[in-house]
Amino acid sequence: MCGRYASSRGPEDLAGIFEIEKWEPEETLEPDYNVAPTKEVYAVLDRPLKDAADPRPVRQLRRLKWGLVPSWSKTPEGGARMINARAETVHEKPSYRRAFAARRCILPADGYYEWVTGTQERELEVGGKKKRPRKQPYFVLPADGSVFAMAGLYEFWRDGTLPDDHPRAWWVTCSVITTEAERTPLAVAPAEGPHSLADIHPRMPLMLTPDRWDAWLDPSRTDPDGLRELLDPPPHGLMRAYPVSTAVSNVRNGGPELLKELEAPEVGTLF
């Protein structure tokens, strides 16, 4: 799954990476090394500009709210639960299939966090001595330091309780697509810890390699079968993972120190 990630690149950097044509300076976000659901995040998307005479799609960098709210929802309350869409079923689930066909985006990140329960902590949980076991967080990122381009969907939702000219009348929300985690060895694995992404968690965000960016963002591509081909996992051996401080478990912490690699896990792990 994807429940937290780090995002430190600014608009200028992202504009160069993704060939952004349009972004508004007032939509600039501060670097956030602990992005959590319901926060505003950067999204790259191809879409015609509003009220423009030219109907061609323009590559834009937009601020969206993480937690997708389907257009048909009566309230936005379910958005916090729709942070992830499974690649295997995204084309058929009512909450995602319309967005999958027409509103796809890329959510740029440095990498994502995932938690592993330690052996001793798990034994305490099984024995009923501790209800909430401590978990060791790991940071997962491309081994070459490139951007982690997560496949995403976005959707528009109209708040019918507000007038058309109200700044919050329209919500634009998004979801991260996830896939099965790789079972092959990590490109760079910690000395003491997991050897593959599947050792950390059975799911992972679907990373799009640059050769798929244009096809994924192209709104003229609406055939579900053709689009599903873009959901194939990336080549193996591109990722690394390392343990980080348990401070990342608190959403109020969001500084760059969260990415510091630990020499050894703080919590005993399964490995």
CA-CA distance, 17 to 9, in Å (whole number)?
10
CA-CA distance, 161 to 168, in Å (whole number)?
10
HSE on the CB side for 217, CA within 13 Å?
Answer: 27
By CB atoms closer than 10 A (0-12, 13-18, 19+), residue 30 is exposed
Q: Which of 111, 116, 122 is nearest to 148 (CA)?
A: 111
**Can 2 be counted among the known catalytic residues?**
yes
Q: From the CB of residue 96, how many other CB atoms can be counted at a distance below 10 Å?
A: 22
Q: Which of 240, 242, 246, 241 is nearest to 258 (CA)?
A: 246
Decide if 193 contacts 241 (C-beta within 8 A). Answer: yes
**Can 174 be counted among the known catalytic residues?**
no
Please identify which of the residues 27, 77, 88, 114 carries the catalytic annotation. 114
Q: Which two tokens stand for residue 90?
A: 């995204």
CA-CA distance, 105 to 33, in Å (whole number)?
21
Decide if 240 contacts 140 (C-beta within 8 A). Answer: yes
Residues in the chain: 271
By CB atoms closer than 10 A (0-12, 13-18, 19+), residue 139 is buried
Q: Which of 16, 4, 33, 18 is nearest to 208 (CA)?
A: 18
Decide if 162 contacts 106 (C-beta within 8 A). Answer: no
Q: What residues are annotated to the active site?
A: 2, 114
